[in-house]
Structure 1
Amino acid sequence: MISMNTLTLPGYQISASISEGLNTSVYRGIRESDEQPVIIKILKADFPTLEEITRLKNEYKITQHLHVENIVKSYSLETYQNRFALILEDFGGQSLSQILSKRLNLTAFLNIGIQLTSALHSLHKNCIIHKDIKPSNIIINVETETVKINDFSVASRLSKENPQINSANLVEGTVAYMSPEQTGRMNRTLDYRSDFYSLGVTFYEMLTGELPFNSSDILELVHCHIAKHPVPPCKCRRNAENREEIPQVVSDIVMKLLAKNAEDRYQTAEGIKADLEKCLNSLQTTGEIVDFVPGEWDRSGQLSIPQKLYGREAEVDRLLAAFERVSGIEEAPRLENAENLPACSQSEIVLVSGYSGIGKTAIVNEVHKPIIRQRGYFIKGKFDQFKRNIPYAALIQAFQSLIGQLLTESAENFQAWREKLAAALGANGAVIAEVIPEIELIIGKQPEVPQLGPAESQNRFNRVFQEFIGVFTDRAHPLVIFLDDLQWADSASLNLMQLLVGDSESRYLLLIGAYRDNEVNPTHPLIQAIEQIEKMGTPVHHIVLQPFDFGKVYELLADTLTVNDKLGLLAELIFHKTGGNPFFITQLLQALYQDNLLKFEFNSGCWQWNLEEIQAIGITDKSVVELVASRIEKLPETTQKVLKLAACIGDTFNLDVLSIVHEQSHAQAASALWAALQTGLVLPLSNAYKIPLVGGWESDNLRSILSASQSKISYKFLHDRVQQAAYSLIPEGEKQATHLKIGQLLLKNTPASEIEENVFDIVNQLNVGVGFLTEKSEKYELAKLNLIAGKKAKASNAYEAAVRYLNVGLGLINPLGVGSVGGSSWETDYHLTLNLHVEAAEAEYLNTNFGRSQELADVVLQQATNLLDKVKVYELQIQSYFSQNQMIKAIDTGLKALEILEFTLSEIPPEGLAAIKLPQLEELENLPVITDGYQLAIMRILSALLSPVFVAKPELLP
């Protein structure tokens, strides 16, 4: 840490300390080269974090070329030992927070407000969102009455951001001044109008001397911003004796700024400024402020499509009612025909279905608001059409986000979670770590668990996962899990979903699933899984979303554009083209706006369009995918290329992978993606996206810094249709080759020690392009990778996925089919072929494909050259026959195996196994460890025989 007494910055003289923040110190000083007064903002830590460095660099990146009158200028970014120092303009100001300690009259308030809105207008015109407007970031020179905005450390150059749900401790900005959408809990994207809410909080404090919401509890503050309405400033009576009476219209202006939904606030900074100037003019000319309706001159030429839900009130009410019941709220709405169910807290499942783009995710996200009130957790995962073979993909994604939230908790809370998890998992932590490796960030490295038989392993997994879930489901913090695109879910995930909600003891868990009902039929695995859940007695609620009718389309257009006699015809055209699909409607409107077919005329204050022009160019003849594809084709070539590659990776993708497959540095890949982020077609999943964009990094240095940091830079496509549109731009004949190249690049750039960890991502790409492999060595290498993937999937109890991987491997080494021998892989690579057959036989058995398992087992028994290599198959056959209730066959197979192992029947006394003298338990630890392969094989067969013998011939048992 530094202090003014020890700070020496070459080229600068430090004269005074101004303020001390959590991560920065601010000083006044003199630049020695020209005696220029400056402000010096320096990072306090001896070794600042990557995030701290990025924030300072971001501030400099945004302001260095921003020549705006009411913005504090930045001069340079200096390096000092391990730190960075930002050199800023000093115009002799002090922060508004210092000035507010004194009484501020109406004239001063209006003068300051007018300059602030002028500054915000310039910022927003330059596509910059400040994201932290508050008194301490507003600098005023009281002598010249100059007002400037400061601190752009968390500012954004994107037109929109999609705040993610993190711990409230990690939200960018200052919670007391934060807009509802900036909290990430409002089901809304964040745009420039977020700054207007923060300005409203600042105005409120300037006028009343207090904040609209005041609490030391961060979650309580977040809930207030989302759900509570402050007392209007004109009715706020605290400290009233020291302040002027607040005119009604001024109060109304502030309350308009504090609207929960951005659509209900001012739409332009110029509109706010016009109203403040009107107030000031009235005050100066008449001595009072005459009432008027705020917002009369608030006209935006920017197309802003409302994000509110149209006609979904009943569906939202049903979803929120389910959450209230699960949360244990006594007054929660009761279920129909639920006389035999508990009044509250029993786990439930809500399934939201409808066409792609119909608004399923938007409905589900409405549950964020009550979750804050109940202090619950919301986690979500999305199944991907290109990752259907990855077991538990969406569930892993969901629990990774939950672990991420826990990692940002206070030290006290984090330790409490660690103790709860350790107590619940005990010695079985590795069972969860096999599926969700990130759990070890909380409970530490876990020792391996004992190997069990398939059935025992599945039972252990089920039990441990229920214990794991139980840690997070409590009345104090109910858990909501949202799984999107269930039509693409793997069977292992569907089984686990049944486990989560099928337990009669499950409480305080709401599982929400969304799926495209037009892509499933009665025999689809998802529908069958739902039927099983209903049979278990778990409450299952179905919400089916329908397209907008004409009335809702007209209402949306009326809220977006100008209501005139032509609006009905435009609404009719859009309704018939889109079928009332909300996503299609928004994309069509965006396309019309970008093509200048929707224009705002400021003279008339109205939106204008020409139906004949719209119909003539054929834009309404395109499908939604074609429409989005045409938007992508207008982006730079480098952006198009990187989007095509990203579409091959999946709905979500990270910068590490993107830079590898793009064959460019992290900074180059992020730069190539930038245009897609600006148009909103791709959204960053965290604020870490700024790291490679702020500049000043060496390419190799940035890669190593990101590798060592926990700041993973990830993105997602705005919608599945955007991913589909990007993918459609790859010529059909090049798609397989593209996937193959992606897989080869991933394999090449993955260290050998990390192959198994990343094997699904690698193999899924390579398998798509398997038809382009010509060399036998390449095929065998891919077969080995599929063997690794199959074993990993099987270890996670994802048997269907294991079957698929292992069968791909078998196809690569045996192009003529299982059992082919002439010049076969049994001669070329015996061990690979043996392992693939044995693993595939077990996976087929575990997946209840007994016939196929027997076929593979027969091949091993025929081709294996080593007796011990056959033992695993005999053991497997015993288990398979037992599972099929063929006990005698199971016993006969075991006896046959024992005979081959020369453990003859004569070695078993006539009285049966019971006559064999066994050592006492206390003697076992003194016995030598068996290392002989034949003896171990005999023990495995005898162990496998126990169950069928117990059922069919229990008299043989001890």
Structure 2
Amino acid sequence: MTTPLAGTRHYRTAGASFVGRDEAIGGLTSFLFDAARRRTGLVFLSGLPGSGKSALAEHVLAHRPTKDWVVAFKFDQYLTAAPARFFVAALGTIGNNIVALDEPERTTLCRRLVDAVSPNGQILLDLCPALEPVLGAQPAPIELGPLENQIRLSLVLRRFFQALTASGRRLFLFIDDLQWADGATMRVLGDLVVDPQIVGLTVIVASRQGQDDNPRKLRRALHVLGNPTLDLNLAGLSPAAIGELIGKRAALPAEAKASLAERIGAATDGNPLAVVNVISLMMEQGVIRRAEDGSGDQVWAEAAQGLLGNSAVDVLMRSRLAALDPATQEVLGVAANVGDTFDAALITELTGTAAGLLQGAFETLLHEDILVAAAGGGGAAAADRRSLRFAHDKLQEAARGLWDDVHGDPIRVHLAAARAFSRRWDATGDSDCLFRAVTLFEKAEARLTDPAERLRLAGRAAIAVRLALDSGDPSAGLTFARFGLRLRPEDAWQTDHDAIRDATLDAAEAAYLCGDLAALEAFSSQAAGAARNGLDWVAANRNRLRQKLGAMEYEAALDIAVNMLARLDAPIPRRVNGAQVGAAFAATAWALKGRSMDDLFELPHMTDPRAEAELETLMFASSAAYFAQPNLFALIVFRMVRLSLAEGNSALSAFGWVCYGLAQCAVVGNFRSGHAFGQLALRLVEEFGAEDLRARIHMLFSVFVRQWSEGRTAVAAHLLQGEEAGIASGDLEFATYCTWHRINDGFWAGVPLDRIAPEVEDSRIVCLGYHQSKVAFLLG
């Protein structure tokens, strides 16, 4: 390979020195550096490709105060199934910035961040291992349900940014090409920008005009809380601005310059990327040249007309790259097909080009602004591992197009790159390498013909599914799950039952979290149809039950739960009358006769998986029965108590005991006994470390039991503990129930309105930020 790039320079929009953009620069500068603004601000930059969105944002951010931080990230149109990539990159950049701080600021900030994310810091380390120098060793997080896992990830990220921005440094997040952002990024970003406890944060998003789905999602999140926003749509340059650009390169007479500017503007729609490249090509090809009498420059009209007939951005980018030698075009084509970022070591492996020669070519391409260093791609990485990307996505499209013209389908490159990223994952454990490998393997699925390799890749896809779900991106998880299932042999249910069962259940979980009901039903039915026993059948239907509960389809949820219990050989009637409730209450009271609270606490731990599944199903069913079938709710509570007596306590037993305490108060008026059972439930929460149940137990105990035995001040303190526990564990439903009851109790107890009103409004905003519209409505 040679590097004959002289005379083929690609002129980026930045080369226009922002001619004609004074108003946009002024507006953006004023908004970004408004010292009086505390709430998170949002900037929406839009425009056609090549309108200078990225260059404008980078130019203004370069003039920020030195103590403020910028995190920049660009999404890729060809690599969309990479969960939470922006937040992984952002955390890595922020971690590097923190490590580079001087003492004592570094230690102080690290401590603040550790306190903020505790006890869930490991979740951030799993997402971004580069944070380890900042957070240190962290305890393993408690296991939660799929929806609670998503909520907890969002909460711990928000806690991190709350603590970070409270340090006095403003933080600017610049997200380019938002239209290609993954679902996890959009979900967490939407939560982040409306968090009223995050101060000094500004988010700048750039997106292509006409591709508005993701920007619209952010706008919906902002609508309720009214964050300050700035909208900038970068239109084409005016003829006057184009004339100014021509004047920077050539000494044309005023009339000729104005005429040429009009013609260039008409041919390019004033697109800055097209304009600066057209002017440059005119200079290089002699369309604009010195007059014969030496009096200045003149325009070769015929040649200008031919050039202006091919002045679309896509055409210009292809012409720039077509001027490179074939070997360089080949390298760029391969790079364009492997995703948004790449490095010399990867391209050497894929093309066989000598490392030294390739490194030299990349340096030239960097100098010519065809490639740029990717955000976070520098640092201490070896030169051949420095992360690069194309300077503009239109250049990436052009490189792919030129490569496709010669080679056709890029499946060969996808397969080779997938194997390369798979090897990197083996060596480093970097989840981004695994995500890219699985994404590229899927693109090359038609070439995966070896049964052994397909089975091995199915296992990798299964790991990617779990990592995607843990990263908060069920959409990517569902994509990976479907691919992994397609890789497995047709007789997998007979030859490798456990593996395909687990893969199918993960697919059902991803579908449930995505709200894809058809896929949820299909995967659940597959797993249920192949169930070998009652436990398998219950596992297959668990996400169907969760979905019905979340949709408040309580009768349908009870139908599913009753069938699940029947499969566990623990049938329960679908309809219950008062006589049945009375008999169950009497049987339960008899079973408890003579047992102290210490006796009940010291019951052996439950070990039977069938009993654990029964207890969990009963707890799910109780939520539906409470609203739809009160008699059935009572029967379920009594069943949970007797099951714990027979099989021992588990974490879920705490829910049964607190509900039994509720029944003691509501049914027979035994408030002292009810209080004792509530205390037993809290002791079991501590015994089993059941942080995911703490908010639920505190709410039920405080609202329905404690109020009969303790003063309002004590009850309020316990409800506050429930709020804090629910926020920490992701149980936002019961956290906000605790909020509502605490404030409501204060109102009825006569707390002055001037004290309650501000807390009501603050809590309403927090509930809206947590997407808990029911409690927000009650507070509003």
What's the TM-score, normalizing by structure 1?
Answer: 0.59
Cα distance in 2 between the residues matched to 1:583 and 1:877: 51
Q: Is the 8 A contact 2:19 2:241 kept in 1?
A: yes
Indicate the residue corresponding to 1:720 in structure 2: 393
Contact 2:82 2:432 (8 Å CA) reproduced = no
Aligned pairs for 1:609-624 within 5 A: 609-616=299-306, 618=307, 620-624=309-313
Q: Residue 795 of structure 1 corresponds to which residue in structure 2?
A: 470
- Aligned positions of 1:251-650 closer than 5 A: 305-307=15-17, 309-325=18-34, 327-328=35-36, 344-368=37-61, 371-372=64-65, 375-474=67-166, 476-520=168-212, 524-565=213-254, 566-595=256-285, 597-598=287-288, 609-616=299-306, 618=307, 620-650=309-339
Alpha carbons of structure 1 residues 562 and 539: separation in structure 2 relative to 1, 3 Å: same
In structure 2, C-alpha distance between the alignment counterparts of 1:714 and 1:392, rounded to whole Å: 19
Which of 595-604 and 849-858 deviates more?
595-604
Aligned partners of 2:83 and 2:473 also within 8 Å: yes
> Is the CA contact 1:646–1:658 (under 8 Å) kept in the aligned structure 2?
yes
SS in structure 2 of the partner of residue 542 of structure 1: strand
Per the alignment, do residues 525 and 478 of structure 1 end up closer, same or farther by CA in structure 2, a change over 3 Å counting?
closer
User: Cα distance 1:352–1:688, how it changes in 2: closer, same or farther (>3 A)?
Assistant: closer
Q: How does 1:36-435 map to 2 (within 5 A)?
A: 305-307=15-17, 309-325=18-34, 327-328=35-36, 344-368=37-61, 371-372=64-65, 375-435=67-127
Equivalences for residues 636-675 of structure 1 within 5 A: 636-663=325-352, 666-675=355-364
Q: How does 1:634-783 map to 2 (within 5 A)?
A: 634-663=323-352, 666-685=355-374, 706=382, 713-731=386-404, 733-751=408-426, 754=429, 756=431, 758-783=433-458
d(CA) in 2 for partners of 1:496, 1:429: 17
Deviation at 1:748, TM superposition (A): 4.0
Measure the CA separation in 1 of the matches of 2:597 and 2:365. 68
1:910 to 541, 565, 584: 584
Per-residue deviation, 1:728: 0.8
Matched AA of 1:578: T
TM-superposed CA distance for 1:714, in Å, is 1.6
Name the structure 1 match of 2:672: none
Q: Residue type of the partner of 1:450? A: I
What residue is the counterpart of 1:211 in the other structure?
Answer: none
How far, CA to CA, are the matches of 2:532 and 2:445 in structure 1? 30
User: What is the distance in 2 between the residues matched to 1:832 and 1:668?
Assistant: 46
Aligned to 1:267: none
2:336–2:400 contact (8 Å) kept in structure 1? yes
CA contact (8 A) 1:422 1:443 kept: yes
Asked if 1:871 corresponds to 2:538, the answer is yes
Q: Secondary structure at the match of 1:513?
A: strand
2:505 matches 1:838: yes
Structure 1 residues 690 and 405: CA distance shift in structure 2, 3 A? closer
What's the CA shift for 1:768? 1.5
Q: Which residue of 2 aligns with 1:699?
A: none
Q: 1-side partners of 2:82 and 2:74: how far apart?
A: 12
Contact 1:791 1:839 in 2 (8 A): yes
Amino acid across the alignment from 1:403: G
With over 3 angstroms needed to count, the CA separation of the structure-2 counterparts of 1:805 and 1:322, relative to structure 1, is same
The count of corresponding residues between Structure 1 and Structure 2 is 616
Q: Kindly state the Cα deviation for residue 554 of structure 1 after the two structures are TM-superposed.
A: 0.8
1:838–1:873 CA contact under 8 A, matched in 2: yes
Tell me the residue number matched to 1:283.
none
1:638-683 residue CA offsets vs partner (Å, 9 max, x unmatched): 3222211211123332344334333456545423423322322112
CA deviation vs aligned residue, 1:328-383 (integer Å, no higher than 9, x gap): 2xxxxxxxxxxxxxxx312221111111111112232343256316x322211111
CA distance in 1, matches of 2:351, 2:588: 67
Q: In structure 2, do the counterparts of structure 1 residues 922 and 878 end up closer, same or farther at CA, with 3 Å as the change threshold?
A: farther
Alpha-carbon distance in 2 for matches of 1:477, 1:483: 19
Report the Cα offset of residue 719 of structure 1. 0.9
Q: Distance in 1 between matches of 2:282 and 2:22?
A: 29
Say if 1:623 and 1:832 are closer, same or farther in 2 by CA, change over 3 A: farther
Q: Which amino acid aligns with 1:845?
A: Y
Taking a change above 3 Å as real, the CA distance of residues 910 and 508 of structure 1, as seen in their structure-2 partners, is same
Aligned mates of 1:852, 1:447 — CA distance in 2: 35
> Once the 2 structures are TM-superposed, how far is the Cα of residue 322 of structure 1 from its aligned partner?
2.3
Rounded Cα–Cα distance in structure 2 between residues aligned with 1:370 and 1:409: 20
Structure 1 residue identity aligned to 2:464: A
Q: Contact 1:491/1:525 (CA < 8 Å) preserved in 2?
A: no
Whose Rg is larger? 1
What one-letter code is carried by the residue in structure 2 that aligns with 1:895? V
| Aligned-partner Cα distance in 1 for 2:10–2:281 | 17
- CA deviation string 1:17-54 (max 9, x = no partner): xxxxxxxxxxxxxxxxxxxxxxxxxxxxxxxxxxxxxx
The verdict on how the C-alpha distance between 1:789 and 1:687 changes in structure 2, with shifts beyond 3 A counting, is closer
> How far, CA to CA, are the matches of 2:101 and 2:245 in structure 1?
40
Deviation at 1:425, TM superposition (A): 0.9
- Cα distance change of structure 1 residues 431 and 687 upon mapping to structure 2, 3 Å threshold: closer
Q: RMSD of the alignment, in Å?
A: 3.6
Cα distance in 1 for residues equivalent to 2:115 and 2:162: 11
In structure 2, what residue type is equivalent to 1:350? V
SS of the equivalent of 1:934 reads helix
Judged with a 3 Å threshold, the aligned counterparts in structure 2 of structure 1 residues 413 and 606 are, in CA distance, closer, same or farther, namely farther
AA matched with 1:661: L
Q: Which amino acid aligns with 1:631?
A: R
Mapped partners of 2:234, 2:600: distance in 1: 64
User: Structure 1 residues 852 and 470 mapped into 2: Cα distance closer, same or farther (>3 Å)?
Assistant: same
Cα 1:602–1:824 shift into 2, 3 Å: farther
Q: Residue 41 of structure 1 aligns with which residue?
A: none
Q: CA deviation at 1:479?
A: 1.4
User: Is the CA contact 1:479–1:510 (under 8 Å) kept in the aligned structure 2?
Assistant: yes
Matched residues in 2 for 1:631 and 1:568: separation? 26
- Give the Cα–Cα distance (whole angstroms) in 2 for the partners of residues 912 and 556 of structure 1: 90
Deviation at 1:313, TM superposition (A): 2.6
* Contact 1:689–1:714 under 8 Å retained in 2: yes
Moved more, 415-424 or 781-790: 781-790
Report if aligned partners of 1:395, 1:483 keep a CA contact under 8 Å in 2. no
Structure 2 portions without partners, runs of 5+: 1-5, 574-579, 638-658, 661-780
User: Is the 2:511–2:519 Cα contact (8 Å) retained in structure 1?
Assistant: yes
Contact in 1 for aligned 2:76/2:339 (Cα 8 Å): yes
CA 1:913–1:570: 2 relative to 1, 3 Å? farther
Report the AA paired with residue 397 of structure 2: Q
Tell me the alpha carbon deviations over residues 389-423 of structure 1, each in whole angstroms, 9 at most, x when there is no partner.
Answer: 11222333233222222222224332222112111
The 3-state SS of whatever aligns with 1:652 is coil
Offset at residue 468 of structure 1 (A): 0.7
Residues 121-179 of structure 1: CA deviation (Å, up to 9, x unaligned): xxxxxx9xxxxxxxxxxxxxxxxxxxxxxxxxxxxxx99999xxxxxxxxxxxxxxxxx
Cα distance in 2 for residues equivalent to 1:945 and 1:560:
75
Does the Cα contact within 8 Å between 2:43 and 2:204 map onto a contact in 1?
yes
User: Which of the pair has the greater relative contact order for Cα pairs under 8 Å at 6+ separation?
Assistant: 2
Contact kept in structure 1, 2:245 and 2:276, CA below 8 Å = no
